[in-house]
Each structure stands twice: as structure tokens, then as C-alpha cells.
Structure 1
């Protein structure tokens, strides 16, 4: 597994995507903490709505531009796209540095949208390029490392964002610059056939999704992956207001929650590739889905029975509370199960599509993922605005997660795909 990091065909891409995910979350977390604990600290309901909407703002570009991103990645050298996208990130983060130091919610949101555009065009690359650079017996491992690495990047970005707050301003520019340097080392990955890029993103989006959904297995896989991302988008944006307003704890505890979630998904992502031993299979997907719902209910129960202490709890005070371990164990279990759930699904998408259409398949998947995530963010914001509590939203996610079980069971009984 570790030998892949030393190769040029995997190492530079891994580092580049890691830094991109890190920077997204460094900026996003610094922004959410700034809004929740400072700009809207006196209006917690407005802050909860705003952080819910922030998830939708970041994801909206995936809905709008994923078709264009997929066609571009399939029509030109993918390494060239990497370099252009990472160069654009430097400019976007330059504006982001200004926004973090001038307390403008509108500008903060605009930069978040810009980072969403950046990630939209990079998204099809990181999965579509792997089958071109890795052997068939390396693909599941490489996918697991990318997925696990993404969540480690999310984790470290969230920790850094929570610790630095507005002081993250120029760090985001520096990280973008390093990402551009590593992106220049990604080896060439030319298209397998010439295609025409359609500037009509609406028509091409519908065509890509329709083509993807013609394959029953790819359709079920895409819907399951889309639910995973919608669930993650809703949960991670609710952790900060949950910690501040329900547990009466500070930014350090909010960062701890995000840490446990990210570590759990990363470890689950890397564990499942070991469990499957070189086969692309949804064998563990149904059990993982049930486990996610079970641990989500455990999170809600653990928080419900947590008795807050007077004042604002820091990490030490929170950890000294007897109920804190139930909350953290439940949170980790939910995330670990989610990691086991999603990695085999990405491997199915990579292996079962036409190699010449791989980036467009990933892009179509991203469009559906993004629509689910935007819908989830809007629904969560509406639930909070209607008077429901954050715990109600989290419980609703856990119950709704069981709706993905029929798709998971159908994928479970489908054939195993040997990779070696």
C-alpha cells in the first residue's frame, strides 16, 4: 500500500488532492467559526441557518458545472487540467484571505462558491486518472487511499481552521501555491478518444445523467454515493451549532467533533480495502448502512442525556464529563461505518464504466451527489428555521439513511468483480 506514495504516478496526485481538500476545509471551517462565534454570536438561530446554507453554496457549482468539468477532463490531458485548476485556486484564495479579515458574510460566501467551482473541475480528475496510472490490482487500494486521505485532509483542515479562525487568511494562499507546485508533477494522462465539449451545461448534464442511469448497477451506486455525501454535508455543518448551543462548549470541542468524524471516515475507508482483499464488491455496504443509522441514534441519545455544566466548556472540561465518551464513541462509530459504506461504491463507478467516458461518469455522479447535498443543506436549514433543533435534524438523517438500504442490498447480491 505505502509503496504507491513513492511513485510519480500516484504520489503527486495524492498530495495535490490532499492539499485541495485541506484548503477547502481550512477556509470553510475558519469561515463557519467566524460566523458562529463572532459575526452572528448573538443570533444563534441565524448562525445555524447560515452554516446550513454554506454547505449548499459550496456544492452548488458541482450541480452547475460538473458536466463541463467531466467533458473537459475526457477531452484533454487530465494533468493539464490539474495545473490550470490549481493556478485558479491561488487567485480564489487571495480573495478569501481578504474576506476572512474584513468580516463580510456576503464576500465569505462568494469565495466559498469560488472554491466550489475549483473543486468541481478537480473532482472528475482525481478518480478518473487513477485507472490510467494504477494497475488493476492497485486500484481499490489507490481509491481507498484517496478517499481516506481526503478525510484526513478534511480533518486537518478543520482543525487548522478552528484553531486559526480569521488568522487562516494567508495560510489558504500558501497552501494553494504548494498545491499548484505539486500539481505540476502529476504525469500526463491523455484522453483515450476525442470528444466535443458541449457548452450547454444543462443539456450535457441531463445527457450524462441519463446515460449513467441506463446502467442499473451504476444508477444504484450513484444514488447510494449521493446519499453518503448529502448525509455528510448535513451532519458536518450541524456539529458546530450543536456544540455551541446544545453542549455549551467552545471552538475546541467543535473541532474535536469534526476530528472524530473525519478520522472515523478515513479509517473506515482504508479498512474496507483490506476487508475486500482486492475485489470490488458491495458486500459490506448494507451492514455499514445499518450501522450508520444505529450510531446516529446513539449520537442523539448520548447528546440528549448529556448534562451541561455551568459556563462554556473547553476540551478539558468536556472530556472530564462522564457523558462525553458516549458522544465521541457514537460519533466515531457513525463515521467509521460511513467510510466502509462508500469506498467500494467509488471503485464500482471506476471499473464498470467505459474508460473513454470515465471522467464524464464521475462528473455525472458528482452532479447527482451535489443535487443531493444542496437539497440536504436547504432542507436542514428549513428545519432549523421552522423551529426544530439541531438534534432533530441529526435524528432525521439517521432515520432517512435506512432508505438507502434497498439499493445497498441490490448491490450486495450483484456479482463480485475480481481485480487481479
Structure 2
């Protein structure tokens, strides 16, 4: 499928009912939670209020530790659309119980309701992300995740604001409780009605035997996730983002009161900037990804989180609060704009960071355990959020750091964690280089790429114009490609790291290195037997004059040993670029072309028996045409 605007999903029954269901659920949870916390804070003595508020936060997170493992198994065992409807029915029951608790005035009964809402969210979490790959095409997955992240954060913010406002009405009598009751009941019913329109999502593991021990089940699925390093470290990256977000959001009230000298309305303004930033970043990520899981945006997000985090620490550390704590006074004060922009940018870069990681976790998890993988991710998210609270206590209360200093510490910690993850999964760095190349020096267009088989062994045969041919092909083709390339090019510094990461196969002439030549053909044969997509440049070297060089017979030898389809491809527009040999050796002059148009063209697959070097050269030349 071709990539379409991500907002088009909002008109699709495959996505819209689910989007509405999850957004309404996030809104309702936060209306009740924040209304309860505000009422506790303003009705009770400070010591008792602080105890109950912290207990409330813990009770909402506790079910993620206790029940996520079971929730993930149930989501893999049952039809997800049916499970969502049952969860939303349970939400209506919990809300009615919550109304009774609020009217009773019993805070501990209300905290029990909060625990039940947390449990309901725990069971919804694995379904929320596991259902998307079943209903969306691969080209829609990033856009769908971007909309879900946007909807979730906006709903959390709106729920927090509405809950606080409605709680403020309770001081005038029972009218405030009536408003809270009406809002959460109507929202819960609307969520259930929306869930009834969600299409069926068949159970991937209907015969699964449930393991109710959360510790052994979590450990088992973590071991399964570790078998695919990209999935495992995606989980680590996602959990780290939640730690980072919790660290910032938890300190915003204290930052506002003790550092910025602002009122509660300034707290809301800061929260709005962060949340809007995440929503915008998520949508931008979907737009910039071009319909694929673009991991190159993750390092950009990580770098932005560190740089802007340091900027926020510096700006807040030098801020001089005004005498008046109002929003107007804060806005007019020097340094306030920098703080608002920093929080917004942290949210934007957070969207760049989180959306591709969620998409990669979904796409690369085995379908039969996908919900359980997501459940384990939820456990680690909750654990990392607890760690964020512990870090806040240690640095702020034990070591005596200021809040700006704490922001600086976590920004530097983010850089360390990002480097660790990117070292373990070099694909992130490789995709970043490809993304930068295809969005700065070139405008890459595609033709006929849908003719490349979605799975199974095949060989791409392409003309060879520049040192970045492999990068541009890897960026254009959705499937991972293993390149068969001339050994001297494979060993070029920096590019060597990229080619090695993508498991390229270096080869040179039989006369120069007979042992290496034999190893290369063994690796090629094994790769095709494993179902890999390989790419060969049959010319054997870069063109010196922009014209196709004679195709060598090596591809015929490969096909004799392992007959597979051959996809002829051509690169147009690269001759004359900084990386080509036009007017001398490549890299010999400064780049003269930026944002130039390059086209990647694929032709229909050829049967192995039909492929001869000379005919293949004519086919590739026909695809390239006159545009070198």
C-alpha cells in the first residue's frame, strides 16, 4: 500500500472506534484521579493529605505490577474487540461504585476505586497496542501510533484539568459531586458504545494456558523479548521515556511554586506546553516517517531530550520570579518564554523518541506473544516511573540538589542511556544516517517498489553510481536488505560500521582473495536459504562515466546454486553527486548539490532461469532511462 495521510485513519472503522474508546478511557481515569487528589488536598490537614495523595499515586500504579502479566496473556487468548467491550463494561461498574464512594465521603473507599480504575487500565494496556498491528497495514502503523500517543496525552491533560475544575465546585455543596458523577458516567458509557464498533481482532493464541504468577510470567516473556534485541531494547527505551516524563511532570508543581513563584494556573500552563509538545511531536513523527517505522528519528529525539533538558535546567536555574504568581506576571517575566519553549520541545522530541519505539516493538514482536510483550513493557514502565520518584527523593531530599540541578542530572542520564541502547542496537545509528541523507542532500522518490516480495528469498540487481547507493536503497525498501558489495567499499570508514550492522556480504575477485570469494558465496547461499532479501551491484564497481558497465556473471553463478526471483532496480539522478566519480574521484570536491531529486525504480521480478547478465543489464538500463 502507498503511504497516506495519518489523519485519514480517523475516518476508518478499523481505527476511529478504538481511538475514541482509548481516549475516553484515559480522560475518565484522570478526571476521577485528579478530582479525588484535589479534594483530598483541600479538605484534609497537610500531613494526612500528603500521605493519601502519595498512596493514591501508588495504588493507581500497583495493578500494573500485579496484573500486567495476566492481562497480557488474556489479550493473546481472547478476541481483543470482545475483551475491550468487557473492560469498558467493567469501567461503568467501577464508575458507579466510585460515585457512591465520593458521596459517602470515605477517602479510603475512593482510593479503592482508584485501584480498580488502575486495574482496568492494566487490562486495557496490552490490548491497546497489540490490536493496532491486527487492524492497520504496516504503512499505517506509525501514523496510528502517533495518533494514539497524541490522543492519550491530550486526554490525560484534559482529564487532569477537568477533574481539578470539577473538584473546585465541591466546596459549594453537592453540586460539584453531581457534576463529577455526570461527567465520569457519561464518559464511561460513551467509551463502551464506541467500543462496540471496534472490528473483530482474532485471538493469536486461543489455546494459551494462563500462568497467574506475575513474577515467573514476566521473567519468561522478558527472556522471549531478549531473543530479539531490537524488541528488548525498544522496551528499555520506552520505559526510560516514562521515567523521564514522570521525573519532569512530578516536579512541575514544586518547580512552579518554589522556583518560578507561580500559582496553580502556571502549573496548568506548564503541563499544557509539555502535553501539546508530545502530541505535536507524535504527529510530526508520523509525518516524517513516510509510512514506515523510521528508527532514524529515535536518535534525533534522544539528542533533543538531552540538549533541551540542559537548556531547561539552565533557564530555570537563573530565573528570577516575579512578585505576582499569576499567569500574566509569569508570561511577562524575563525567562518565562524560554521555559515554555523548552518544555514544549521536550514533549516534541519525546514524541520523536517514543512513537518509533512503540511501532518497532509491535512490528517485530511475534504475533502470538505480542500482547504479553506489551504487558511486560507496561510492568517496566511502571517500575521506571517508581524509579523516577526514588531519584527525585534521593537527589532533592537526600543530596539536597535543586530542581534545576535535578533536571540537568536526568538530561545527562538520558544521554548515557541513549548511547547504551544505540550501542546495543546499531540499527538506530544506521537509520539516522540514512534518514539524514535522504532528507538533506536528496529528495528520494520511489517507483514500483510494491513489486518487491514482502517476504521470502530474493535478489535485487541494481546499477552502481555512488558510495551511498546502498544507503538510499536501504532507506527506500521496506524490507531489510543484505548487500553483496565490493570489499574495498565495505571497508570504507564510517560506512563500514553501517554495512556491518546490516550484515552486508563483502566480496572481491577470485584472483585477489580466493578464500574470501568462497566465503562470500557460502554466505550468499545461506542468506537466501534463510529467506533474506539480498542486493547485488552486478557491475562490480562504481561507474566512472555515468553509464552502466558490463554486468558480471556472478549473479548467474548465485542463481545456479540457489534459484530465487531477481528484482531489477535502477537509481536515477545520482551521477554528478558528491559521492559519485563525475569530474574526478568521489569526495574530491565540496558538495555542490543539495535536495536534488533521486528516484529509486523497481521492475517486475524475473524468474531465476530467465536471468542472464547481458539481458539483466538491458532491463536495468531500461528502468534507468536517460536520467543518470
TM-score (normalizing by structure 2)? 0.62
**CA–CA distance in structure 2, aligned partners of residues 72 and 62 of structure 1:** 14
Report what 1:70 is aligned to. 72
Report what 2:621 is aligned to. none
| CA shift digits 1:282-303 (9 cap, x unpaired) | 2121221121122122222222
1:188 aligns with 2:190: no
Deviation at 1:132, TM superposition (A): 1.1
Report what 1:227 is aligned to. 240
Report what 1:57 is aligned to. 59
Aligned partner of 1:364 among 366, 376, 388? 376
| CA shift digits 1:66-110 (9 cap, x unpaired) | 111111011011111111111222233334445566776644543
Matches within 5 A, 1:200-279: 200-279=213-292
Report what 2:297 is aligned to. 284
**CA–CA distance in structure 2, aligned partners of residues 34 and 256 of structure 1:** 21
Aligned partner of 2:166 among 141, 149, 164? 164
Quick one: structure 1 residues 114 and 350, their matched pair in 2 at CA, closer, same or farther if it must change by over 3 Å? same
Preserved contact between residue 299 and residue 429 of structure 2 (Cα < 8 Å): no
Report what 1:344 is aligned to. 356
Note the residue ranges of structure 1 that are not aligned, 5 or more in a row: none
Report what 1:17 is aligned to. 22
Report SS of the residue matched to 1:138: helix
Preserved contact between residue 81 and residue 200 of structure 2 (Cα < 8 Å): yes
Aligned partner of 1:115 among 104, 114, 117? 117
Report what 1:379 is aligned to. 391
**CA–CA distance in structure 2, aligned partners of residues 302 and 269 of structure 1:** 25
| CA shift digits 1:141-164 (9 cap, x unpaired) | 111111121112122222223333
Single out whichever of 148-157 and 314-323 deviates more from structure 2: 314-323
**CA–CA distance in structure 1, aligned partners of residues 44 and 329 of structure 2:** 25
Note the residue ranges of structure 2 that are not aligned, 5 or more in a row: 1-5, 169-175, 432-473, 480-628
Preserved contact between residue 296 and residue 430 of structure 2 (Cα < 8 Å): no
Quick one: structure 1 residues 94 and 383, their matched pair in 2 at CA, closer, same or farther if it must change by over 3 Å? farther
Quick one: structure 1 residues 390 and 43, their matched pair in 2 at CA, closer, same or farther if it must change by over 3 Å? farther
* More strand by percentage: 2
Quick one: structure 1 residues 34 and 290, their matched pair in 2 at CA, closer, same or farther if it must change by over 3 Å? farther
Deviation at 1:306, TM superposition (A): 2.3
**CA–CA distance in structure 2, aligned partners of residues 379 and 51 of structure 1:** 19
Deviation at 1:403, TM superposition (A): 2.3
Preserved contact between residue 26 and residue 152 of structure 2 (Cα < 8 Å): yes
* More helix by percentage: 1
**CA–CA distance in structure 1, aligned partners of residues 312 and 286 of structure 2:** 27
Quick one: structure 1 residues 390 and 363, their matched pair in 2 at CA, closer, same or farther if it must change by over 3 Å? same
Preserved contact between residue 158 and residue 258 of structure 1 (Cα < 8 Å): no
- Structure index of larger Rg: 2
Deviation at 1:127, TM superposition (A): 1.1
Single out whichever of 363-372 and 338-347 deviates more from structure 2: 363-372
Deviation at 1:234, TM superposition (A): 2.4
| CA shift digits 1:113-148 (9 cap, x unpaired) | 322211110011111111111122211111111112
Report what 1:325 is aligned to. 337
Single out whichever of 203-212 and 158-167 deviates more from structure 2: 158-167
Higher relative contact order structure (alpha carbons within 8 Å, sequence separation ≥ 6): 1
**CA–CA distance in structure 2, aligned partners of residues 183 and 56 of structure 1:** 29
Preserved contact between residue 53 and residue 381 of structure 1 (Cα < 8 Å): no
Report what 1:150 is aligned to. 152
**CA–CA distance in structure 1, aligned partners of residues 99 and 62 of structure 2:** 22
Quick one: structure 1 residues 264 and 53, their matched pair in 2 at CA, closer, same or farther if it must change by over 3 Å? farther
Single out whichever of 277-286 and 90-99 deviates more from structure 2: 90-99
Quick one: structure 1 residues 275 and 52, their matched pair in 2 at CA, closer, same or farther if it must change by over 3 Å? farther
Report what 2:11 is aligned to. 6
**CA–CA distance in structure 1, aligned partners of residues 478 and 100 of structure 2:** 48
Report SS of the residue matched to 1:280: coil
What RMSD over aligned residues (CA atoms) do the two structures have, in Å?
2.6
What is the total number of aligned residue pairs between the two structures? 416
Report SS of the residue matched to 1:364: helix
Quick one: structure 1 residues 273 and 71, their matched pair in 2 at CA, closer, same or farther if it must change by over 3 Å? same
Report SS of the residue matched to 1:2: helix
